[in-house]
Chain A
């Protein structure tokens, strides 16, 4: 992470739109970020989790975009090269099918983006699952909802705490 070090503030300010998208009230990056809390695991987030999903260019035929950021607790510095796994019930398979699972890495700005087939409501809600479980930081499982089953993208953000 040292290559980011000095550029951290500039990155936060510069990439503001992307990085702060999911965080209301994040107007003064340096001040507000000082107290940035860890993202808690969501209820049901780990359901149908299969450890060790492969890093893929896209899951199945793609078409549905899941994107977000990974930052660290406290100063909110973006975390590069972090492995994020995701899975969902899609047009190409159910949540428990291994082919519905995949992983990607965050770029230098702590941003990740992976396509999967269109998500279909399953077990009553249109939702996706995301996981960080690479041991360096505390494991976090997310279960964000689509605001509409017709949506073709979804955002989820991680603030990780060192394990």
Chain B
């Protein structure tokens, strides 16, 4: 496939994978019975979930037309955005129903999805913190720690989202979560596979 056609399909696919669940969530009937703070908190969560698909693609440099350095820079910016989105999500929900969020943060919540969201949140903060002190770490330690934490963020975030009955439409949410998990797994193993290929090539 010519490079431009391929790029067109990848970008179109990405926009659809993110746009369809966002569109469904934006047209959910539940929005009519929520106040603006609750709506903003919910959307911060939905957008954060979308970013979980974008992040591994940027980290691996798989988005066509984006030079590796620009891709990495975008990954860093999206990472900061993710931290902000999760803070808005939790703060907005806390404002909407303080006892429910306090229960969730203290791991006392009756809702099964809370613990997954809280795990993903702390892993995200740890991954971001680690990125801030990256220069003090060996490349090997950095990669292992950051990819492990990122995997917890994506897996935890995906399970959290799937167990929630909210504004997102279940099928488009499932596709988004599955693709985010696949992209993350691929981005984590790709450098390792490449290294192995290089090693066997030298031999």
Assess the B165–A47 pair: CB atoms within 8 A: no
Complex alpha-carbon distance, A82 and B100, angstroms: 28
| Given A43-B109, A149-B165, A96:B103 Cβ within 8 A | no
How distant is B44 from chain A, measured CB to nearest CB, in Å? 14
Which of the residues A44, A120, A126 comes within 8 Å of B100, measured between beta carbons?
A44
8 Å CB contact of A120 from B33, B93, B114: B33
B104 to chain A, nearest CB (A): 9
Chain A residues, CB < 8 A from B34? 94
Number of residue pairs across A and B with beta carbons under 8 Å? 54
Is B40 at the interface (CB under 8 A from chain A)?
A: no
Q: By the criterion CB–CB under 8 Å, are B110 and A123 in contact?
A: no
B99–A44 contact, CB under 8 A? yes
CB-CB under 8 A from A126, the residues of chain B are 165
Contact of A90 among B33, B97, B163 (CB under 8 A): B33
**Contact B113 A120, beta carbon cutoff 8 Å:** no
C-alpha gap A47/B101 in the complex (Å): 10
Bound CA span A122–B34, Å: 9
B110 touching A43, Cβ below 8 Å: yes
Check B30 against A124 for contact (C-beta < 8 Å): no
B111 touching A91, Cβ below 8 Å: no
A89 proximity list for chain B (CB < 8 A): 33
Residue in B93, B109, B163, B165 whose CB lies within 8 Å of A121: B165
Give the docked Cα–Cα distance between A42 and B111 (Å): 11
Q: Does B96 contact A (CB under 8 A)?
A: yes
Set of chain A residues within 8 Å of B166, measured between Cβ atoms: 121, 124
Contacts of A43 in B (CB 8 A): 103, 108-110
B167 to chain A, nearest CB (A): 9
Task: Give a binary string over B18-45; 1 marks a CB under 8 Å from any A CB, 0 the rest.
Answer: 0000000000001001110010000000
Contact partners of B100 in chain A: CB under 8 A: 44, 47-48, 123
Residues in B with CB closer than 8 Å to A91 are 33
Asked whether B164 is an interface residue with its Cβ less than 8 Å from the other chain, the reply is: yes
Report 12 cross-chain contacts, Cβ distance below 8 Å, ordered by A residue.
Answer: A43-B108, A44-B110, A46-B99, A47-B103, A94-B38, A120-B30, A121-B166, A123-B111, A124-B113, A124-B165, A124-B166, A126-B165
